[in-house]
């Protein structure tokens, strides 16, 4: 876990100010999508050793949802992006 997170809205802040929601690769399916797609969305999370994109929220700061791309092994953080901006581009 990183010690510091560079929030795009608040600057460099201690990671204790953030809460983690997990895998950001999942995108909510359309209502009519298959059972499989919904099952994947609700229940399946990837848990990689290495690069990973996660939903974080700056709960003790701007309260924005963020997408943090980081390495679960080296703890390097590659990017922190506003979650809405990512979602508008289709979640990727």
Partner 1 sequence: MTAYRLASGGVIDRSSTLSFKFDGRAMKGHPGDTLASALLANDQLLVGRSFKYHRPRGIVTAGPSEPNALVTIGEGAATDPNTKATVAELYAGLDARSQNRWPSLKHDIGALNGLLSPFLSAGFYYKTFMWPAAFWEKVYEPLIRRAAGLGRTVLEHDPHSYEKCWAHCDLLVVGAGPTGLMAALTAGRAGLRVILADEDFRLGGSLLAETTRIDHRPAMDFAEACLAELRALPHVTIMPRTTVFGWYDDNVFGAVERVQKHVVAPQAKLPVERLWRIVAKRALLATGAEERPLVFGGNDRPGVMMAGAMRTYANRFGVAAGRSVAIFTNGSAGYGTASDLAAHEIEVAAIIDSRDAPLDAAPAGVRVIPSASVIDTRGRQRVCGLVVERAGFEETIACDAIGMSGGWNPVIHLACQRGAKAVWSPELSTFLAPDLGSGLVVAGSAAGRYSLGGCLEDGAERAARIAADLGFSTASNPLPAVGEEVDPSFTALWYSPGAKAKAFVDFQNDVHVKDLGLALREGFGHVEHAKRYTTTGMATDQGKLSAINATGLLAGMQGISPADVGTTTFRPFYTPVAFGALAGTSRDEHAAPVRKSPLYGWAEKNGAAFVDSGLWYRPAFFARHGEKTWRDSTDREVVNVRQHVGLCDVSTLGKIEIFGPDAAEFLNRLYCNPFLKLPVGKARYGLMLREDGIAYDDGTTSRLSPQHFVMTTTTALAGGVMSHLEYCAQVVWPELKVRFCSSTDQWAQMAIAGPKSRLVLQALVEDDVSDAAFPFLSAAVVTLKGGLNARLFRISFSGELAYELAVPAGLGEAVADAIMEEGRGHGICAYGLEALNVLRIEKGHVTHAEFDGRVTPDDAGFGRMVSAQKTDFIGKRLSTRYGLTAADRMQMVGLKPVETDQHIRAGAHLLREGAKASTLNDQGYVSSACYSPTLGHDIALAFLKSGRERYGERVVVWDKLSGGDTVAEICHPVFVDPGNTRLKV
Residue 61 contacts which entry, partner 1, Zn ion, none (Cβ below 5-8 A, type-dependent): Zn ion
Can you read off the two tokens belonging to residue 25? 């690769």
Residue 19 contacts which entry, Zn ion, partner 1, none (Cβ below 5-8 A, type-dependent): partner 1
Q: 3-class SS at 17?
A: helix
Query: If we measure between CA atoms, which residue out of 90, 77, 87, 80 comes closest to residue 51?
Result: 77
Taking CB under 8 A as the criterion, which residues in 46-85 touch partner 1? 55, 57, 59, 63-65, 75, 77, 82-84
Measured in whole angstroms, how far is the alpha carbon of residue 57 from the centre of its chain?
8
**By C-beta, is 48 or 64 nearer to partner 1?**
64
| Rounded least distance, CB 31 to partner 1, Å | 4
**By C-beta, is 9 or 28 nearer to Zn ion?**
9
Residue 7 contacts which entry, Zn ion, partner 1, none (Cβ below 5-8 A, type-dependent): Zn ion
- Give strand pairing partners of 17: none
Alpha carbons 18 and 66: distance in angstroms, whole number: 10
């Amino acid at each position: 876990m990183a010690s510091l997170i560079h929030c795009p809205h608040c600057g460099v802040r201690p990671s204790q100010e953030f809460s983690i929601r997990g895998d950001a690769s999942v995108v909510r399916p359309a209502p009519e999508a298959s059972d499989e797609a919904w099952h994947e969305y609700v229940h399946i999370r990837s848990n990689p050793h290495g690069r990973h994109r996660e939903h974080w929220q700056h709960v003790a700061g701007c309260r924005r949802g963020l997408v943090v791309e980081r390495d679960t092994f080296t703890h390097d953080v590659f990017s922190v992006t506003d979650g809405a901006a990512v979602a508008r581009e289709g979640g990727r």
